[in-house]
Structure 1
Amino acid sequence: MADGRAQNPASSDRSASWMEIFRCFQVALDPRKLLVAAVGILVMSFMWWLLSVIFYSKAPETSEPQYQNSTIQRELGDKKKPDGTAYTEEDFRRIAHERYSTDMEQWRVLDSLAGPGGRLRTMPWYEYRGPNPFLFVTDVLSGSANDRATALTGFFSGSVPVLIEPLVKMLIPVAKLISPGVSVSTRIYLFLILMCNIAVWAFCAGIITRLAAVQLANKGPISLKQATRFVCKRYTAYLGAPLVPLIIIAACVVGLIAYGVLGLIPVVGDLLIFGLGLPVIIVGGAVMAVFLVGLVGYPLMYTTLSAEGDQSDTFDALSRSINYVYQSPWHYIWYWLVAIFYGAAVTLFILFFCSLTVYVGKWAVGLTASTVWTDRKPEYLFIYAPESFGWKELLTKDSPYAVRGSWDKIEGASDRQVYTYRPADPVAYAQARSEFYSYNSWGAGIVCFWLTLMFLMMLGFSYSFFWTAATVIYFLMRKKVDEAELDEVFLDDEEPEVPPAPPKIAEGTGAQPSPMTSLPVITAPAPAVAPAPVPPPPLPPIPVVDLTPPAPAPAPATIPITPPATEEPKKPEGGTPPPIG
């Protein structure tokens, strides 16, 4: 838990305000968090793409046997209509049409998710996320009023959802699972998508929130290795926290399904099961509703485990996330509104900065080719650039490889539209591509690799900001509901080993007592004793000086020794001796 540092109550209350959310920007910019988020996005997208390819099927056709009158007639056999009359050819045709319409509607749901260009099948660098931020800023500054309105609408419809993308992509499978008109195979597909989502972000979000929690609590930075080890030791808790409500919801669904089977009995179902037993259905629905609404607090589950450590577990994380939402819903909504709008602003800055970085670098490199060899302008190296956020449109602008985005209808039975990029001038594009050499394609591929890496790091900022904001909001909700200080964070015993080096030296001294004890003793007094050793060199001259003064001392001693010679007193005759006589 937190150490016993003293805090000013006024500063503590002030730090507990919603202004703490504005710390998220600098904390989320940590390259370690961006890297972990980029890895999570890549792994999640690949798993979604694989499941989409496996479960996707072609659209149903009226020529298939199950939609033929003969098939319907064979299935019905000798059955009669409710009024007692026999089925006619018109009835068979109507039943076949209804079956086809139902299957077609269910297929459209699957197609919108797992089909080509589907929401859960598109890789992140092809997904539409609004206009390019650099072009957006230029349109706002220099465009007409209509251009400004279009740019603002496109940005807020494309960039704002990017900020809450982790929560949206968690809730989309849940929302589709409980929606009507979804086939059994599509529900299985959505369930597996949800499991992949939880498995990936239980690990990646756990690392991000652990790094953020320690940093926000001012407990000193910890290494990525320590955060990873922390999450690995508690991965089952991270994985189980969001699974528990889903399991409870699934249990209620299965129980109500079994209850509904009894309701098929004509008299028992009408009077007992659905009549007197309706409260059972209502209670089951209420339990599911409580946990479904509580999933809004899903981000708090990971932050609870990252902040509380060994003092928390799966059920504690679940109870805290749901209790905080229900006990103080308006504070929770307000904190997330601030985080979303502030995050949209800083996300715009990050997207603009990264787009400007790539564009200005490409522009500066191309100045030489513009004056010396126009065919070598670097735009051809960006033909494989990421399309999301309009990067490809920005980097190939005003060149034969320029592209333009538009909403196009998918070919086939699907009636949905997908935002695709096509050459602005197909003739010029085809001619320029025909002049490509193999090394041109390889160079464009290498450039694509670096651009994609930078793009994933840029996109990872929205995930890093989201989970950092979730950590701050958890601290604020804990302060509001439990009155716990913001700097209370669990620290492993191994984590303090990094900052204090002296304990390691103490352990070394135990292994080597004589050298290690002597070194501190000598080096510590060295500054104070250093002047003392310096005087000893002058000490030898000091005895010499002392020896010379004794030379004058013997001189006066020899003077009294010489007086015994009587001849010498004549010299002092004019002095003291005559008066003495």
Structure 2
Amino acid sequence: MGEVKTIRHDWRDILRAFKMAFDPKKMFLGYSALLASLFWCTIVVALFSALKLISTTPCIFIRLVLCSAREGVPVIAGNVSQAIMPLDFGELFALSILIFGILAIWSLAGGAITRISAVDYAKDESICLIDALKFSRKKFWSYFWSPLVPVIGVFFFALCNVIGGLLGRIPVFGEILVALGFPFALISGFLMVFIGLIGALGLCFMFPTISAEGSDAFDAMSRAYSYVISRPKQFILYCIINTLYGLICLIFIACIAWLVVRLSFYTIGIGMGQKFGLIQSFLSQKCNIACLGFCNVPSPQPLVSTASLTWSLKFLAGMLIVYIVLIKLTVWTFVLTYLFSAKTIIYFLLRKDIDSTDISDVYIEEEKTERSNAEVKTFPSSGEGNKDNSSPDKESRL
């Protein structure tokens, strides 16, 4: 007999996200999307850096992967802030291309992950990877535009204020016009804050809305705003539970990954001897095996240059770095699949409380129904066949 899942329809269901995140289909989608995102970021930054449009180099992404999160995240955040603060056209254009590409990747992968989560939580059923990808491909533009709708709204009202400021350059008349119309600028400022802030808070509900309802970007945006405004206390409570539980899970998974790598290094080092100790010293200069940076105990290591290693030792060191990176990406893939799964559960819980919609209510495509109807029309039942055969006799009697 299969395992019977207990769904309580309250905050305790969020704890199921840990197990749901380890679904092989979700891990595959998240891992592929994470690799594609890193590849896309590296290519775009390398291209615009070669064109001298930006000063940032792809090394920041390599360092983000090789170092721990405690070391790499502040570095990339600083580089991004330095890139966008001058508001240079070339840097903003490069940043836009970067964001659109990442959004396209995660519109396909994130849509499929939330679709799997929605059907799993609502119907206690597992859909195949191909069906999830087909669904996200059909709803691709809904997934793609839903996070951008609040951004477009903010830019629209900002553009209205800019146009008003341009009118203010007209001598005398423009100044009077701005003075009289400044209350409208304040209203635009309020709408920018409202749309931006609530949109950022409700951003997590947009993908689950499309996956659960089969709707469009406008419905995803309206539900995201409605759920945050209608139940702010409940929304904040669910987010706190999700964040605290997610941090505990992340620390646990990161420690397990570090322990696996550490024990593997230790046991191999016992057999390989001094040569492996030389490689370990070299690796400690290039990367941090801990995902979060809190597991490694800093110890003085002798500096090892690349020239002192033979080609075979260089090959071994390079392969070990690749393995460490793959393990780190696995940990961060879990983080992403957990977030998508947890936010999907929170969406269903808020929908039940606000819209009084049953948890098991989820959009199911009508392809199977249409296919079965087509089969019925193609292969009529025996009763229908007898009816057709008997009709000539009836006509002859008449």
Provide the TM-score with structure 2 as the length reference.
0.79
Specify the SS of the correspondent of 2:126. Answer: coil
C-alpha distance after superposition, 1:489-512 (max 9, x if no partner): 112245799xxxxx9xx99xx69x
Map 1:525-564 onto structure 2 (within 5 A). none
Does residue 260 in structure 1 map to residue 137 in structure 2?
Answer: no
Contact persistence 1:237–1:314 (CA under 8 A): yes
Structure 1 counterpart of 2:328, from 455, 473, 477: 455
Does residue 204 in structure 1 map to residue 77 in structure 2?
Answer: no
Distance 1:446 1:202 in 2: 32
What's 1:290 paired with? Answer: 194
What's 1:130 paired with? Answer: 70
What's 2:242 paired with? Answer: 339
The structure whose residues are more often helix, as a share, is 2
In the alignment, structure 2 segments of 5+ residues that lack a partner are: 1-5, 383-398
What's 1:48 paired with? Answer: 41
C-alpha distance after superposition, 1:14-57 (max 9, x if no partner): x2321111111000112221222122222222322333334459
Give 2:97's aligned amino acid.
L
Does residue 302 in structure 1 map to residue 207 in structure 2?
Answer: yes
Per-residue deviation at 1:125? 1.3
Specify the SS of the correspondent of 2:363. Answer: coil
Per-residue deviation at 1:290? 2.2
Distance 2:309 2:117 in 1: 47
Give 1:224's aligned amino acid.
L
Distance 2:243 2:339 in 1: 9
What's 2:389 paired with? Answer: none
Count of aligned residue pairs for this structure pair: 368
Provide the TM-score with structure 1 as the length reference.
0.56
Structure 2 counterpart of 1:315, from 218, 222, 225: 218
CA 1:25/1:376 → structure 2, altered by over 3 Å: closer, same or farther?
Answer: same
Per-residue deviation at 1:366? 2.9
Distance 2:16 2:368 in 1: 23
Per-residue deviation at 1:380? 2.0
Distance 1:474 1:395 in 2: 35
Map 1:494-573 onto structure 2 (within 5 A). 494=367
Give 2:70's aligned amino acid.
G
Contact persistence 2:290–2:296 (CA under 8 A): no
Does residue 233 in structure 1 map to residue 226 in structure 2?
Answer: no
Contact persistence 1:359–1:394 (CA under 8 A): no
Give 1:443's aligned amino acid.
L
Larger Rg: 1
Distance 1:250 1:176 in 2: 22
CA 1:490/1:391 → structure 2, altered by over 3 Å: closer, same or farther?
Answer: closer
Per-residue deviation at 1:389? 5.6
What's 1:481 paired with? Answer: 354
**Which has the bigger relative contact order, CA under 8 A and spacing at least 6?**
2
- CA RMSD between the two structures: 3.9
C-alpha distance after superposition, 1:275-311 (max 9, x if no partner): 11112212322332222112221121101011112xx
What's 2:392 paired with? Answer: none
Contact persistence 2:45–2:58 (CA under 8 A): no
Per-residue deviation at 1:116? 6.9
CA 1:349/1:225 → structure 2, altered by over 3 Å: closer, same or farther?
Answer: same
Give 1:364's aligned amino acid.
T
Distance 1:234 1:211 in 2: 14
What's 1:377 paired with? Answer: 276
Structure 2 counterpart of 1:425, from 285, 302, 323: 302
Specify the SS of the correspondent of 2:174. Answer: helix
Contact persistence 1:343–1:465 (CA under 8 A): yes
Does residue 38 in structure 1 map to residue 27 in structure 2?
Answer: no
In the alignment, structure 1 segments of 5+ residues that lack a partner are: 1-10, 60-106, 132-157, 163-167, 398-402, 405-422, 498-502, 514-581
Distance 2:98 2:263 in 1: 39
- Which moves more between the two structures, 47-56 or 32-41? 47-56
Map 1:68-107 onto structure 2 (within 5 A). none
C-alpha distance after superposition, 1:358-390 (max 9, x if no partner): 222232233333xxxx23437627955883563
Per-residue deviation at 1:255? 2.8
